[in-house]
Structure 1
Amino acid sequence: MYNINKNYLLFIVGLFIGSYLAFQVKSRNTIIPSINQTFIDLPKKLASLNTYYENWFQNAGFIRRKHTIDTLRYGDHLFRTEAKILEHQIPILCVILSNNDKTAKAGVHTWAKGCTDVTIVKLSGRKGKHHIPMKKTAENSNWNKLCGAIKEIEYDKFEWVVFVHQQTFVLLENLRWFVASLNHTKGYYLGQAESFWNVRYNLAQAGFVLSQGSLRLLKAEFDEEKGCKVDSLMLNKEDFTLGKVLSKYDIFPIDTRDPDGYSTFNAFNWQQEFFPGVNYYKNSIYPRKCCSSRVITFKGIERDKFYMYYYLLYQLDVFRDGNLGNKPMATPADKDYVWKHFLAEHGVYRNVSADEYYNIWAESGFNPEMFNRFDNNYD
């Protein structure tokens, strides 16, 4: 009888504890339908933001005229593109959080050319064949490194700072359009809004943006006396910890979707975004649809993809009309000009055989082995 009562008691206690924990987990992961922010005044819809931007653009005295790609590429260039105007007007610091220098440098050499300045913050080393495990401490946590980077920023030089992981590609033209009409001295915190354990934060994999006003508060928070100490058990989840710190100042993630509800900050590559298969954003505060025509971030995957995307987005042009770039030479070139010119440079003014031409070419210092060396150096 005693055993039956004891087992029954254990069952009741276990059932109560399990029910309580289930309730706590569910309540902590509840999606928050709306956010009450008193510190900022971002319009609720990007449609309104577009109106704000147009007003800002006109009040700044700018006049917009359309030009063809033909004119932009081959014209007299007595004008500036809207993207260049925004780049000049809105200084942005780009902070790349990296554990792989080569991938970070691929970002520096491509999308980050549009940054006013770039900083690379070294995170935990990549695990590899010769990786030596490091004891996880508060000092070498991702949060501590992010916090240290924030403390070093001279925020008065930049209106906005974008933080991204090394595999993230940023379209700075779209980011500058987004923030142009906003007051950078206020507390803005932009990105892909998530909610976990009742903490609202922007997902690091999608990148997040802080205004000068937010940075000013953070630098005051992390003074010399307190440093980067925070009350958090998730120090390697730097985005979660940052959201928790900013919440003390009533600075929360906001809705960054476009007027049609399409996402602008994206944490995954295009294949995963277009064909998700699973819900990658199960903790997202706002419903997600991929993807906005004013997309700001997406994942670039391998570093060679950075160069491919940069070429497609910034160097490849589609010419639909115009004739500036299609004008023939004033005097058509002689089809034999190249080899005749080469021989003339070497004092030969007669026709030569293929073998003689090769010997002259080889004696001039160029030989097939040099091309191999050039090719190897390029790789």
Structure 2
Amino acid sequence: MISESTSFVKGVLLGGIFCVLVTFLGHIKTGYWTKVRHHEHHHIQAPNQEDVSNLSEVERVELSQSIRVYCIILVKPKDLGHWAAVKETWSKHCDKAEFYSSEKVKVFDSIALHTDDMWVMMRKAYKLAYDHYKDEYNWFFLAHPTTFAIIENLKYFLLKKDSSQPFYIGHTVKSGDLEYVDGEGGIVLSIESLRRLSKVLEDPDKCPEQGGMIWKLSEDKQLAVCLKYTGVFAENAEDSEGKDVFNTKSVGSLIKEAMSNHPQQVVEGCCSDMAITFNGLAPNHMHVMMYGVYRLRAYGKSLYLSMTQIKKNEDLVKYNFKLFLSL
């Protein structure tokens, strides 16, 4: 009997090991761990002062009008407080913003996706956005409800970028061999990237809808895996000084870090003057950000973030943003 029990236990263990190997090989087949050609992410910078000053007024107007940003905000019922704050604050500055929710919620208009799996939500949202708006918008910005975005700064960053090229932009992170844009800071896809993504979404071998049995990647990593098969790679967005503009933390957290690391230069050490996103904000903090970015003015000064006057007001924008951060 002891011998039979021992054999049974050994059989269970061997069977378990075999299942692990099969699952692992299955991941390799579907591409989770397949090495796609070596690529180090690029560091894409915002236009510098010389780039902008060399543009004529007509060119600036044409460029600003050609940048059409569609905002996708992924939400769940538990996010109602943040949902309301985003709806009342920064999302109004998108050319169009829509909320994609895990289920239908009566109190807010949204596109119900009927799933609470974040990766399935993301891929469904991207597919619907492409099918409905591929001819109307050339940049697609995806954010979580805890993110605050300054869309004018995003448009400034994209001022001289060609949306017909496969841009996949945000705050990049490296995980093993995989480089991806961290969804906490927001994700920007050009229309060309979204076009390629919409095609690979239909290929379950390269871009499966469900994660593996053992290793389940986060939705932002899953997105990077699918995009790599189309030749689209994560690219880190920076200002002209090399500072990140997509932030995965709140202003408060970044200021605290700067006070510890750069006590003599808290504002300069905290964040880029042309920051595009901050994350981890409570709903009331979003309203504070809205006041600081769009309404707070130094006495005798006028803060007007028109894309046609971005160069003229650049120093004023920096001054007001620094003043807000120093409060």
TM-score, L = length of structure 2: 0.64
1:193 is aligned to 2:169: no
Q: Do 1:103 and 1:302's aligned partners in 2 also have CA atoms closer than 8 Å?
A: yes
1-structure distance, mates of 2:221, 2:119:
9
Aligned with residue 120 of structure 2, among 108, 132, 144: 144
SS in structure 1 opposite 2:278? strand
Aligned with residue 305 of structure 1, among 285, 297, 301: 285
Q: Which residue of 2 aligns with 1:337?
A: none
SS in structure 1 opposite 2:245? coil
Q: Quote how far apart the aligned CAs of 1:276 are.
A: 3.7
Q: Given residue 200 of structure 2, which amino acid in structure 1 is its aligned partner?
A: E
2-structure distance, mates of 1:149, 1:321:
41
- Range with bigger deviation, 164-173 or 253-262: 253-262
Q: Do 2:174 and 2:180's aligned partners in 1 also have CA atoms closer than 8 Å?
A: yes
Residues 30-54 of structure 1: CA distance to partner in whole angstroms, max 9, x if unpaired?
Answer: xxx97267xxxxx85546x554445
**Count of matched residue pairs:** 240
1:95 is aligned to 2:72: yes
1-structure distance, mates of 2:83, 2:64:
22
Q: Quote how far apart the aligned CAs of 1:237 are.
A: 1.2
SS in structure 1 opposite 2:160? coil
Q: Do 2:248 and 2:280's aligned partners in 1 also have CA atoms closer than 8 Å?
A: no
The 1:180/1:260 distance shift into structure 2, 3 A limit, reads closer
SS in structure 1 opposite 2:180? strand
Q: Which runs of 5+ in 2 are unaligned?
A: 1-32, 105-114, 259-268, 303-327
1:292 is aligned to 2:272: yes
Q: Given residue 67 of structure 2, which amino acid in structure 1 is its aligned partner?
A: I
Q: Which residue of 2 aligns with 1:345?
A: none
TM-score, L = length of structure 1: 0.56
1:242 is aligned to 2:223: yes
The 1:243/1:60 distance shift into structure 2, 3 A limit, reads farther
Q: Do 1:144 and 1:228's aligned partners in 2 also have CA atoms closer than 8 Å?
A: no
Q: Do 1:53 and 1:177's aligned partners in 2 also have CA atoms closer than 8 Å?
A: no
Q: Quote how far apart the aligned CAs of 1:155 are.
A: 2.0
The 1:306/1:235 distance shift into structure 2, 3 A limit, reads same
2-structure distance, mates of 1:45, 1:103:
30
Q: Quote how far apart the aligned CAs of 1:262 are.
A: 1.5
1-structure distance, mates of 2:72, 2:66:
19
Q: Quote how far apart the aligned CAs of 1:197 are.
A: 2.7
2-structure distance, mates of 1:230, 1:321:
52
Q: Do 2:180 and 2:224's aligned partners in 1 also have CA atoms closer than 8 Å?
A: yes
- Range with bigger deviation, 94-103 or 183-192: 94-103
Q: Which residue of 2 aligns with 1:116?
A: 95
SS in structure 1 opposite 2:84? helix
SS in structure 2 opposite 1:319? coil
Q: Quote how far apart the aligned CAs of 1:293 are.
A: 0.4
Q: Quote how far apart the aligned CAs of 1:90 are.
A: 1.5
Q: Which residue of 2 aligns with 1:78?
A: none
SS in structure 2 opposite 1:275? helix
Q: Given residue 35 of structure 1, which amino acid in structure 2 is its aligned partner?
A: E
1:35 is aligned to 2:40: yes
Aligned with residue 314 of structure 1, among 280, 291, 294: 294
RMSD: 3.3
Q: Which runs of 5+ in 1 are unaligned?
A: 1-27, 38-42, 63-81, 126-138, 278-288, 323-379
Identical pairs, percent:
23
Residues 136-187 of structure 1: CA distance to partner in whole angstroms, max 9, x if unpaired?
Answer: xxx6421111000011012221110111110111011110011121110111
Q: Do 1:141 and 1:236's aligned partners in 2 also have CA atoms closer than 8 Å?
A: no
Instruction: Describe how 1:1-379 pairs up with structure 2 within 5 A.
Output: 35=40, 45-46=45-46, 51-55=50-54, 57-58=55-56, 60-62=58-60, 88-99=65-76, 100-123=79-102, 140-153=116-129, 154-223=133-202, 229-230=208-209, 232-233=211-212, 237-276=218-257, 290-299=270-279, 301-320=281-300
- Stretches (4+) displaced over 6 A: 224-228
1-structure distance, mates of 2:117, 2:92:
29
Q: Do 2:71 and 2:94's aligned partners in 1 also have CA atoms closer than 8 Å?
A: yes
1-structure distance, mates of 2:101, 2:288:
25
Q: Quote how far apart the aligned CAs of 1:203 are.
A: 0.5
Q: Do 2:148 and 2:277's aligned partners in 1 also have CA atoms closer than 8 Å?
A: yes
Q: Do 1:246 and 1:252's aligned partners in 2 also have CA atoms closer than 8 Å?
A: yes
